[in-house]
Amino acid sequence: MIKFLIEKEFKQLLRNSFLPKLILVFPCMIMLLMPWAVNLEIKNIQLNIVDNDHSAISQRLVNKIAASTYFRLVEVPASYEEGLRNIEIGTADIVMEIPRHLERDWMNGEDAHVLIAANAVNGTKGGLGSSYLSSIINDYAAELRSEHPEAATVSGTFPSIQVDTQGLFNPNLNYKLYMIPALMVMLLTLICGFLPALNVVSEKEVGTIEQINVTPVPKFVFILAKLLPYWLIGFLVLTVCFILAWLIYGIVPVGHFLLIYFFAVLFVLVMSGFGLVISNYSATMQQSMFVMWFCLLVVILMSGLFTPVSSMPEWAQIITIFNPLKYFMEVMRMIYLKGSGFFDLLPQFGILLLFAVVFNSWAVISYRKNN
């Protein structure tokens, strides 16, 4: 009897032309893709250096930092304020300011102070980036001491380069400030993206959807009716998350709640359309759940939830361009920590709007009432 049941299950699995292929592709994708894309090493940190000294010593320091594989020297702004503006608009992660008279003070045996201002929206990235930079500066100070023994004071001590670090937007490097907005995105994805799709597939299996297909209800109206309850539940859950974040962790957004809800509406449209596309091409609940789990795992790990996208290899960064979770996580973190306004989020708005149009049009077109 057991042998018969096992054989039946294998035959039922192999009868599905899609699942065996996905079962083989899934582990290959995980083993080949994830170890490269999801790592805890911070690289490609976008750096601005404000050189107020313009001396040989300061130029050597700039060249030494630029040669590091951890940093990309994207700009040398004329002032510290200009560098801070670059952090606010997202073109820089760290601004380092070299003080005036660095070379003169060093040769006179006086300590110099270098300021590091790091974008601490991602506390891990900001903290590690500042640590890397401090280590390079300390190594450079050791080189100068060996090259200029005459810089020693009468007591025999050498001057040093002190590093003053400042975390912007998250001065205490509180990791919860970085993770909680992203977890809200995850909940919206599950409730408004995958649950409606599973509901549609379950009705396919039971056969109740056939009773609706013979009615004159348009495809668009039918799909909208399936999604609306989950949208309302999703926004209710999002509101509860806001309250819990405030009561338990004391976290409130610097920006406006209305802007979060506006982008949440757009994101919900994106994920609902994406889930419906999967359900339209799935014949069974088993198949749809496997596909959704595969997609969910990839979009989560490639969204910047744990690892900064800029630290991924270039080919992985290209893949993240097609990941809607990445853009809504950026929106949530920018509103929560930076207090960004709508015009600061125009790039994310345009991309999410494009995703919404493509996925929902695809869902309506691919749904066939004669299934």
CA dihedral 66, 68, 71, 74 (to 10 degrees): 20
Q: 130 and 165 in contact (C-beta within 8 Å)? A: yes
- Domain for residue 371, yes or no? no
Q: How far apart are CA 292 and CA 7, in angstroms?
A: 27
- Domain for residue 165, yes or no? no
- pLDDT tens string 87-138: 888 888 889 888 888 888 777 777 778 888 888 777 677 777 888 888 888 8
- Nearest of 127, 257, 288, 289 to residue 184 by alpha carbon: 257
Name the residue range of residue 220's domain.
Answer: 1-38+174-366
Residues 6+ positions from 103 with CB-CB distance below 8 Å: 53, 55, 56, 57, 58
- Domain for residue 163, yes or no? no
Q: Could you tell me if 227 and 346 lie in one domain? A: yes
Q: Could you tell me if 55 and 132 lie in one domain? A: yes
- pLDDT tens string 181-234: 888 888 888 777 777 777 777 767 766 666 666 666 676 676 777 777 778 888
- Domain for residue 166, yes or no? no
- Domain for residue 190, yes or no? yes
- Domain for residue 261, yes or no? yes
Q: Could you tell me if 342 and 267 lie in one domain? A: yes
pTM over 0.85: no
Q: Could you tell me if 189 and 334 lie in one domain? A: yes
Residue 199: which H helix or E strand, with range? helix 195-206
Reduced 3-state DSSP string for 98-134: ECCCHHHHHHCCCCEEEEEEEECCCHHHHHHHHHHHH
Name the DSSP class of 162: E
* 154: confidence class by pLDDT, cuts 50, 70, 90: very low
- Domain for residue 161, yes or no? no
Residue 77's CATH number = 3.40.1710.10
Half-sphere exposure of 355 (CA within 13 A, CB side): 26
Q: 14 and 20 in contact (C-beta within 8 Å)? A: yes
Q: In a 3-state reduction of DSSP, which class is residue 361? A: helix
Q: 278 and 201 in contact (C-beta within 8 Å)? A: no
Question: Looking at 77, 112, 147, which one is the last position of a domain?
Answer: 147
Q: 282 and 367 in contact (C-beta within 8 Å)? A: no
Q: Could you tell me if 139 and 92 lie in one domain? A: yes
Q: Could you tell me if 259 and 202 lie in one domain? A: yes
Report the number of distinct structural domains present in the chain: 2
- Domain for residue 157, yes or no? no
Name the DSSP class of 190: I
Q: In a 3-state reduction of DSSP, which class is residue 78? A: coil
Q: How far apart are CA 299 and CA 322, in angstroms?
A: 9
Please report which residue ranges of 41-194 form alpha helices under DSSP H: 56-66, 80-89, 102-107, 123-147, 175-189
Question: Looking at 147, 163, 197, which one is the last position of a domain?
Answer: 147
Q: Could you tell me if 31 and 67 lie in one domain? A: no
Q: Could you tell me if 60 and 133 lie in one domain? A: yes
Q: Could you tell me if 217 and 103 lie in one domain? A: no
Of the segments 68-72, 136-140, 232-236, 344-348, which one has the largest average pLDDT value? 344-348
- The pLDDT, as a whole number, for residue 263 is 94
Question: Looking at 129, 147, 165, which one is the last position of a domain?
Answer: 147
Q: Could you tell me if 55 and 18 lie in one domain? A: no
If you average pLDDT over residues 269-295, what whole number do you get?
Answer: 81
Q: Could you tell me if 11 and 97 lie in one domain? A: no
Chain centre distance of CA 142: 37
Locate 310 and state its tokens: 């800029």
Residue 211: which H helix or E strand, with range? helix 208-213
Residues 6+ positions from 222 with CB-CB distance below 8 Å: 212, 367
Residue 260 has pLDDT above 90, yes or no: yes
Q: Could you tell me if 303 and 340 lie in one domain? A: yes
Q: 46 and 93 in contact (C-beta within 8 Å)? A: yes
